[in-house]
Amino acid sequence: MSKVMKNQKSEYGGAGVKLAIILVVLFLVAHAGYNYIPVAYESENFKQEMQTAVVQGVALPGANITVVDSVKNRVLKAAANNNVPSNALIEVKQINSVVQAHVKYTKQIEILPFGLYVYNYQFENTATPTGFLFK
């Protein structure tokens, strides 16, 4: 009644190959996250600092020219702190009674190792003051 089953040659080594595939996939995901997450964090932090600079610039008393210069200085300082590329387009201008800051840049992120896939992270944000200052 009992029948002895013999192992076939195609059944050997299946677990090792699967483990290797899983380790490679985990490595690729970790590498992509390690390179992408800091760039995304810095860009979101830069958005917040742009918004803060615009709101603080509007809240400052003084001449309009100094307000634009003050906001531009704050945005440039925030850009330096958040690793914004030097070729970024940074515009600060006054439209009516509102100061706007507009920043646009592209940063290359190596998603796959050895330069197999490079992602162009595009950042474009326009910060305008909002909140109780304009109600």
Long-range CB contacts (within 8 A, 24+) of 37-43? 39/107, 39/109, 39/121, 40/121, 42/82, 42/83, 42/84, 43/82, 43/121, 43/123
- In the prediction, which pLDDT does 1 show? 57
Q: Has residue 33 got a pLDDT over 70?
A: yes
- In the prediction, which pLDDT does 21 show? 95
Q: Has residue 6 got a pLDDT over 60?
A: yes
- State the maximum Cα–Cα separation within the chain, in Å, rounded to a whole number: 100
Domain spans of the chain? 16-134
pLDDT digit string, tens, across residues 40-55: 999 999 999 999 999 8
- In the prediction, which pLDDT does 27 show? 97
